[in-house]
A and B are shown apart, each in its own frame.
Chain A
């Protein structure tokens, strides 16, 4: 909101302000608007929430969800699903609890093992999806069942003790005695680093490739993309992010076999709230992170508003549908609204030829129809 004020004081940037307003109501920016509204509503109900210390606690709480959303973003934007994330989180939490125990010296080797395990899960997901051509929905569903079953079989269905405190420090500790905020949790730093890394990744050729593959596999293949490797990498990133979330959750919540329950749906919801199209090809990783924040802010708001715990699901359902419907409808409106505006470009040379001008609307119609459908027919 402060950026709006800053630009408003400089009338020379009126155009930029208009563009900002346009971005805020566009599906890409709508999630930031939603997040701001939710945060304001929370602060109205509970003014203490605005304290820097409280805010940083809020970010710490969101960190695992946001990190999982980053991983899910890459998978969804490449046109696939990862339903196994929650089970990966659970598996990693249980592995940490069982293998590290109270032995500090095992922390690093087990951490490396967990990362390798996470990468292996993603590799299997990716290879079965791309090489055996099984729909990722089914692959990761099978992986979810198999992983959860294996973890419970291994532990006998009961949670075992927490790992050594030094390992849990990552999830619950931080840099202490910082002036304004009191404590900067490690998880917040990890989230910032991972978000920056994800933004960097998304801008590199790999990130562009993921979007290209998600938008149209055939075109991407003809343009020389190694589709199987791009999708497999997305799955590996997703499982690795679930691993990191698991490490944070071990510290924050402790070892519990239901700790990763429903994380896959939370992550998908967060990503979709961020305006990322299910079915792939469209989306912005920062918006996906903002989606995770908005979702968690929504839970906190429901908590403060003293909505009965049992009704929270229902309110969440309404808001998800409303947010996605809004973005779907505005996206369509923007598409159809922009078309006449962009075709007669005043600065452009007019010698494009009659045939091209006549061709443009024809090519655009099926294209526009396809992209608006992308939201509903892609699964």
Chain B
């Protein structure tokens, strides 16, 4: 247990170190351009940039921990923004109704994802790609442009903040804390690690493998819906393209991996994901302040993703090699053992 806890801490520490390094470099670059990186306005910009991707990445973390993927999130984001805006239709009394409806529909899409992955044994990549295509077809057929409208009261969520900290970011961080507690304290949370580590070992240990997978997919779609609600509150309307324009599918996966979660599943944490999202937000912010060419931004983003993950995986594999016999299968097995140990210790 002690070893395990030490290693977990290390994971998050590495992400944190990368984040600090990125912030220091950003601070120097921004100062050289004669601007203040730590001004309240700039901090608010960074935090605002974090929240939407943050919501999507929280759910994506759960799905990736289970060893699956979710490529349908951008379309769920768009759909949720549209459902909420159309249901509310500018009426403050219908806010709760709109939010609930968006979450329920997203949960059903997640359920479909989960059932296709577990019941039909379709790879998560293909299943969610297909479901994403179906939702995008529905969006393109039903909506020609932005639709609905959001009451002023709902727009406050996206627009106001406590000091330099936007309310949306506070909600997002609270959700991260909640998810971290879910993964650490609940049975299903531990089962997610076990299933992601090795499905067959999990099954032989008597787990119902489909349960954590389906729950992860449902939760992932619901957090994507939260991102869509936040976007609707910022835009004031629902938009059928807001999700795909953001590229949230690939970016959220990149943020999760940047946060130290193993893409194969079974290992990682939501706090790391928060760090990964923050790294993205800081890099984007620095480039915006420096007025980097928008196309050049993509080049930098691509290089940062690969370089940061390389830094991380390089260390992680060394660490793992020292502890276990070489090879992926061996480490996964050992990992599943660790997680089940943790489960019994609880």
Q: Which B residues between 321 and 346 are near A, CB-CB below 8 angstroms?
A: 326-330
Interface size grouping (class) on chain A: 35 or more
> Closest A-chain residue to B257, C-beta based?
A138
When each residue 209-220 of chain A gets 1 if its CB lies under 8 Å from chain B and 0 otherwise, what string results? 000000011100
Contact between chains at A328 and B254 (CB < 8 Å):
no
Contact between chains at B121 and A146 (CB < 8 Å):
no
Contact pick for B296, options A142, A149, A221, A376, CB 8 Å: A149
Contact between chains at A317 and B131 (CB < 8 Å):
yes
A278 within 8 A of B: yes
Contacts of A146 in B (CB 8 A): 298-299, 301-303
A244 within 8 A of B: no
Contacts of B310 in A (CB 8 A): 128, 132-134
How long is the Cα–Cα vector from A370 to B198 in the complex, in angstroms?
Answer: 9
Contact between chains at A310 and B117 (CB < 8 Å):
no
Contact between chains at A143 and B302 (CB < 8 Å):
yes
Given known pairs A138-B309, A146-B298, the reply for A318 and B134 (CB within 8 Å) is yes
How long is the Cα–Cα vector from A365 to B254 in the complex, in angstroms?
Answer: 35
Contacts of A141 in B (CB 8 A): 250, 253-254, 302, 305
Contact between chains at B200 and A145 (CB < 8 Å):
no
How long is the Cα–Cα vector from A279 to B264 in the complex, in angstroms?
Answer: 10
Contact between chains at A128 and B122 (CB < 8 Å):
no
Contacts of A152 in B (CB 8 A): 295, 298
Of A16-24, A58-66, A197-205, A319-327, the stretch lying at the interface with chain B is A319-327
Contact between chains at B298 and A149 (CB < 8 Å):
yes
B268 within 8 A of A: no
- A-B pair count, CB < 8 Å, reads 191
How long is the Cα–Cα vector from A315 to B130 in the complex, in angstroms?
Answer: 9
Contact between chains at A373 and B299 (CB < 8 Å):
no
Contacts of B136 in A (CB 8 A): 313-314
Q: Which A residues between 291 and 342 are near B, CB-CB below 8 angstroms?
A: 308, 310-318, 320-321, 324-325, 328-329, 332
A30 within 8 A of B: no
Question: For chain B, what secondary structure do more than half of its interface residues adopt (helix, strand, loop), or is it mixed?
Answer: helix
A150 within 8 A of B: yes
Q: How many residues of B contact A (CB 8 A)?
A: 61
B132 within 8 A of A: yes
Contact pick for B129, options A279, A308, A320, CB 8 Å: A320
Contacts of B67 in A (CB 8 A): 376-377, 379
Q: Which B residues between 66 and 117 are near A, CB-CB below 8 angstroms?
A: 67-69, 116-117
B170 within 8 A of A: no
Q: Which B residues between 279 and 312 are near A, CB-CB below 8 angstroms?
A: 293, 295-303, 305-306, 309-310
B317 within 8 A of A: yes
> Closest A-chain residue to B326, C-beta based?
A218
How long is the Cα–Cα vector from A317 to B35 in the complex, in angstroms?
Answer: 48
Contacts of B127 in A (CB 8 A): 321, 324
B124 within 8 A of A: yes
Contact between chains at A379 and B264 (CB < 8 Å):
yes
Contacts of B317 in A (CB 8 A): 133
Contact between chains at B254 and A317 (CB < 8 Å):
no
Contacts of B253 in A (CB 8 A): 137-138, 141
Contact pick for A372, options B120, B121, B138, B250, CB 8 Å: B121
Contact between chains at A317 and B293 (CB < 8 Å):
no
Contact between chains at A321 and B298 (CB < 8 Å):
no
B24 within 8 A of A: no
B319 within 8 A of A: no
Contact pick for B117, options A278, A308, A376, CB 8 Å: A376
Contact between chains at B122 and A375 (CB < 8 Å):
yes
How long is the Cα–Cα vector from A332 to B140 in the complex, in angstroms?
Answer: 36
Given known pairs A145-B302, A153-B293, the reply for A320 and B126 (CB within 8 Å) is yes
Contacts of A312 in B (CB 8 A): 137
A52 within 8 A of B: no
B146 within 8 A of A: no
Contact between chains at A379 and B263 (CB < 8 Å):
yes
Contact pick for A217, options B64, B141, B328, CB 8 Å: B328
A192 within 8 A of B: no
> Closest A-chain residue to B142, C-beta based?
A310
A148 within 8 A of B: yes
A109 within 8 A of B: no
Given known pairs A269-B129, A314-B137, A379-B69, the reply for A149 and B121 (CB within 8 Å) is no
Contacts of A221 in B (CB 8 A): 327
> Closest B-chain residue to A152, C-beta based?
B295
Contacts of B38 in A (CB 8 A): none
Q: Which A residues between 345 and 379 are near B, CB-CB below 8 angstroms?
A: 366, 369-370, 372-373, 375-379
Contact between chains at B121 and A144 (CB < 8 Å):
no
Shortest CB distance A88–B (Å): 13
B21 within 8 A of A: no
Contact between chains at A313 and B327 (CB < 8 Å):
no
How long is the Cα–Cα vector from A57 to B67 in the complex, in angstroms?
Answer: 42
Contact between chains at B118 and A376 (CB < 8 Å):
yes
B156 within 8 A of A: no
How long is the Cα–Cα vector from A379 to B297 in the complex, in angstroms?
Answer: 28
Contacts of A318 in B (CB 8 A): 130, 134
Q: Give the 10 A-B CB pairs with smallest separation, nearest first.
A: A314-B137, A149-B298, A317-B133, A146-B302, A145-B302, A310-B140, A142-B306, A313-B137, A325-B120, A218-B327
A279-B123, A325-B116 are known contacts; what are 19 more A-B pairs with Cβ within 8 Å?
A133-B310, A134-B313, A135-B257, A137-B257, A141-B302, A143-B302, A149-B296, A218-B326, A310-B137, A313-B137, A313-B140, A314-B138, A316-B137, A317-B129, A317-B130, A318-B130, A320-B133, A321-B116, A377-B264
- Residue pairs across A and B with Cβ atoms less than 8 A apart, 22 shown, are A128-B310, A138-B253, A138-B263, A141-B253, A146-B298, A146-B301, A149-B300, A218-B327, A218-B328, A269-B126, A311-B137, A314-B141, A315-B137, A321-B116, A321-B131, A324-B122, A328-B120, A376-B122, A377-B199, A378-B123, A378-B264, A379-B67
Q: Which residues of B contact A (CB under 8 A)?
A: 64, 67-69, 116-118, 120-127, 129-138, 140-141, 196, 198-200, 203, 250, 253-254, 257, 263-265, 293, 295-303, 305-306, 309-310, 313-314, 317, 326-330
